[in-house]
Each structure stands twice: as structure tokens, then as C-alpha cells.
């Protein structure tokens, strides 16, 4: 999931007696690419162009005639207090998720990379640690609805250790719903970081640590001066990808809180979905969808720039 850019390759060495390529031969690569090109134009480029067009029209889909209204839909959507709430919730949900994904992923990766334990123990734990990530989001949502039910096992455990007095309805409590969905998202997503960081840790040369040890560096100094700088490229790439994907998270929210209670877990994705498929305001929904698209593209540009800079 990390290799999102086609690796560039050094140009081939020119053959000595240079032949002028026949036009037909120049078309060969396009032939190999044609299935992808057709599919991407029809099912990706066309819908993106259509949604951008919708965002500048009035009453799209619901009425046969619609007229251009310029930026009107954007003004409406961006001025909607609910949109701002959704933007704020998305920002909190995304930033906390990404930060904790990174911390947990790094902690678990370092535990799994320790030389103190046997390979077999580590393989067993690695499999357990990865498991949340292998579950379908529909299953994750339902499982956590069961666990976080007021009568569920989490409430029982928390009451047992005295952290809460009465059972809590996590997903329908006004103040706890956003932390609860964020927690579930953290549970579901940290292995993505863990797996990549583990591979990164295994790639760090032992010489670096030995040199640091010779210099008398403490564990913390080795972590700050050897481990973190070596992992930096992975951390930045993963964090950008996670930002892109988490800010688009829809199914998990939809199947746990549905954006509620009230607007407390409304995200930009659920807000857009509801505008379109509950309120049938397709023009507004399109404007909101394009705003999301622009945000994603900005992050994608950062990502690509970063990858290019590394190459």
C-alpha cells in the first residue's frame, strides 16, 4: 500500500546502430496499457468530470433541466454550519487516528523487532497484532457495537476495575461518540504502520547501533539518533497515506454511529453522503464531494513530491 508511485527507471542504453522506430512499434506500449486506459477513463475520469460539472449546476439529477449557477453550491455548502462541524470532526478524528496509529505502530514494531525474544514467539505475536487490520470494516463496526454496547463486555470490564460507575452507551453519548469511533479506527488501522515500520527496522544496519553503542549512547539516544532518522521516510509516507485515507473514512462511521448522536460524529464523508442520498441535494453534495477531492489531491501532491525527493 505504500508503493503508490510508479518507480522510475534509468533510460535504457541506446543500441549502437540506432534505428528509427516504426510508428507501429511506438504504439506497442499503448497496446499493453489499453485495458487500463479504457477502464480508468470510463469508470474514473468520467465520473470525476461529471461530479465537477454537477457542482456548478442547479437541481441536478432530480430535474431534467438544470442551469449553471457558478460557485453558488460551494457558497451554500461552505456556509453550512453542519459542514463546518463535519470538517472539525473530520480533523479531530483524522489527526488523532494518524498520530496514535503511528505511535502504536512504532511501539509494536519495536517490540516485534527485539532480539530478546525467540523468532517463534515473535511470529505468533506478529500474527495477533496484524489481525485487526485483516477484518472487513463491516465486521469491525459490528464487533465494536457488540463490545461497546451498554450491556457489553467493555462496560463490564471498566466497571470491574472501577473506571466507570454505570454502563456507558459509547456510540450514543454526546461527548463520547467521537472518541469511541476514533478509538475503533485506531484499533483497526495501526497494523498498517506496524508492518511497514517493522520492515524498516529490520532494514537498519546493525553497524549503526554498534557504532552508537561504542560511543556510549544510551537507549534513548540510539532511538533518537539512529532509529528515528532511519525510519523517517517510511513515517512520512505512511502518515500522508493514512491522512488521505482516514479523512475519507465512511463505512466505519456509517455502521457505528451514522454521524450521530446529533452531529457529533458527522464527518465530511457522511455529510456528503447524506446530502446526496438522504436529502437528494445532489448539486450541494457534488460541491461537497469536490471539496473533499481537492483536499485529497493536495495531500496526494505532497505525497508524490516527497516520494520524488527521496528517489
Partner 1 sequence: MTSRSQSVALKSGAIFGLLLGGCFAGLPILWMLSSSFKDNSEIFAWPPRLVTSTFSFAAYTSVFTDPVKVRFFLNSYFVAVSVTVLTLITAILAAYAFSRYEFRLKGAINVVIVGIQAVPPITLLIPYFGLIVALRLYNSYQGLILTYMVFTLPYAIVMMTGYFNTLPRELDEAARVDGTTSFGALWRILVPISLPGIVSVAVYTFMIAWNEYLFALTLTRTDNMRTVPIGIQLLMGQHSYKWSEMMAMSVLGSIPVLILFVFFQKFFIGGMTAGAVKS
Q: Which of 89, 100, 200, 265 binds partner 1 (CB under 8 A)?
A: 200
Q: Does 227 bind partner 1 (CB under 8 A)?
A: no
A 10 A CB-CB count for 7 gives 7
Q: Does 121 bind partner 1 (CB under 8 A)?
A: yes
Q: Which of 69, 82, 142, 169 binds partner 1 (CB under 8 A)?
A: 142
Contacts 24+ apart (CB under 8 A), 301-304: 302/240, 303/4, 303/237, 303/240, 303/241, 303/244, 304/5
Rounded to an integer, what distance in angstroms lies between the CA atom of residue 181 and that of residue 148? 11
Q: Which of 78, 92, 135, 217 binds partner 1 (CB under 8 A)?
A: 135
Contacts 24+ apart (CB under 8 A), 77-82: 77/275, 77/284, 77/287, 77/288, 77/291, 78/291, 82/263, 82/266, 82/271
Q: Based on C-alpha coordinates, what's the Rg of the chain?
A: 25
Q: Does 138 bind partner 1 (CB under 8 A)?
A: yes
What nine digits make up the cell of 177?
A: 461518540
What is the nearest approach in angstroms of partner 1 to the Cβ of residue 215?
A: 19
- For the chain, how far is it from start to end, CA to CA, in angstroms? 18
Nearer to partner 1 by C-beta: 168 or 195? 195
Determine the interface stretch with partner 1 among 42-50, 72-80, 87-95, 220-228 (rule: CB under 8 A): 42-50
What is the nearest approach in angstroms of partner 1 to the Cβ of residue 72?
A: 17
What is the nearest approach in angstroms of partner 1 to the Cβ of residue 87?
A: 14
Nearer to partner 1 by C-beta: 143 or 217? 143
Rounded to an integer, what distance in angstroms lies between the CA atom of residue 311 and that of residue 7? 9
Q: Which of 94, 196, 227, 246 binds partner 1 (CB under 8 A)?
A: 196
| Near partner 1 in 86-105, by CB under 8 A | none
| Near partner 1 in 148-167, by CB under 8 A | 149, 151-153, 156
Return the HEC string of 258-307: CCCCCCCCCCHHHHHHHHHHCCCCHHHHHHHHHHHHHHHHHHHHHHHHHH
Q: Which of 62, 84, 99, 114 binds partner 1 (CB under 8 A)?
A: 114
What is the nearest approach in angstroms of partner 1 to the Cβ of residue 220?
A: 14
What nine digits make up the cell of 309?
A: 525527493
Length of the chain: 311
Determine the interface stretch with partner 1 among 46-54, 77-85, 95-103, 210-218 (rule: CB under 8 A): 46-54
How many chain residues touch partner 1 (CB under 8 A)?
100
Determine the interface stretch with partner 1 among 5-13, 209-217, 220-228, 258-266 (rule: CB under 8 A): 5-13
Give, for 34, the enclosing helix (H) or strand (E): helix 28-40
Quickly list DSSP for 118-152.
Answer: -HHHHHHHHHHHHHHHHS-HHHHHHHHHHHTSTTS
| Near partner 1 in 231-260, by CB under 8 A | 233-234, 237-238, 244, 248, 250-251, 255
Nearer to partner 1 by C-beta: 140 or 177? 140
| Near partner 1 in 282-311, by CB under 8 A | 282, 285-286, 289-290, 292-293, 296-297, 299-300, 303-304, 307, 310
Amino acid at each position: 500500500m505504500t508503493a503508490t508511485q510508479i518507480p522510475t527507471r534509468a533510460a535504457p542504453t541506446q543500441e549502437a546502430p540506432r534505428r528509427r522506430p516504426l510508428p507501429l512499434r511506438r504504439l506497442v506500449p499503448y497496446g499493453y496499457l489499453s485495458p487500463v486506459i479504457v477502464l480508468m477513463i470510463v469508470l474514473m475520469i468520467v465520473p470525476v468530470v461529471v461530479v465537477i460539472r454537477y457542482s456548478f449546476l442547479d437541481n441536478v439529477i432530480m430535474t431534467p433541466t438544470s442551469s449553471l449557477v457558478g460557485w453558488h453550491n460551494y457558497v451554500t455548502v461552505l456556509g453550512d454550519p453542519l459542514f463546518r462541524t463535519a470538517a472539525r470532526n473530520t480533523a479531530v478524528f483524522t489527526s488523532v487516528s494518524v498520530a496514535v496509529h503511528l505511535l502504536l505502530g512504532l511501539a509494536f514494531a519495536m517490540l516485534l523487532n527485539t532480539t530478546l525474544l525467540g523468532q517463534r514467539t515473535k511470529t505468533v505475536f506478529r500474527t495477533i497484532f496484524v489481525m485487526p487490520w485483516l477484518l472487513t470494516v463491516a465486521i469491525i463496526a459490528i464487533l465494536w457495537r457488540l463490545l461497546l454496547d451498554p450491556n457489553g463486555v467493555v462496560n463490564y470490564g471498566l466497571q470491574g476495575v472501577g473506571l466507570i460507575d454505570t454502563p456507558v452507551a459509547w456510540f450514543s453519548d454526546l461527548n463520547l461518540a467521537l472518541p469511541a469511533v476514533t478509538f475503533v479506527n485506531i484499533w483497526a488501522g495501526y497494523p498498517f504502520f506496524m508492518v511497514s515500520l517493522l520492515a524498516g527496522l529490520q532494514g537498519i544496519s546493525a553497524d549503526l547501533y554498534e557504532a552508537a553503542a561504542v560511543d556510549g549512547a544510551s537507549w534513548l539516544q540510539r532511538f533518537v539518533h539512529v532509529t528515528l532518522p532511519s525510519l523517517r521516510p517510511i513515517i512520512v509516507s505512511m502518515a500522508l497515506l493514512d491522512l488521505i485515507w482516514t479523512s475519507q473514512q465512511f463505512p466505519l462511521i456509517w455502521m457505528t454511529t451514522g454521524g450521530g448522536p446529533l452531529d457529533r460524529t458527522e464527518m465530511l464523508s457522511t455529510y456528503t453522503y447524506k446530502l446526496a442520498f438522504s436529502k437528494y441535494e445532489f448539486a450541494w453534495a457534488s460541491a461537497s464531494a469536490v471539496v473533499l477531492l481537492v483536499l485529497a489531491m493536495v495531500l496526494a501532491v505532497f505525497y508524490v513530491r516527497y516520494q520524488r525527493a527521496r528517489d
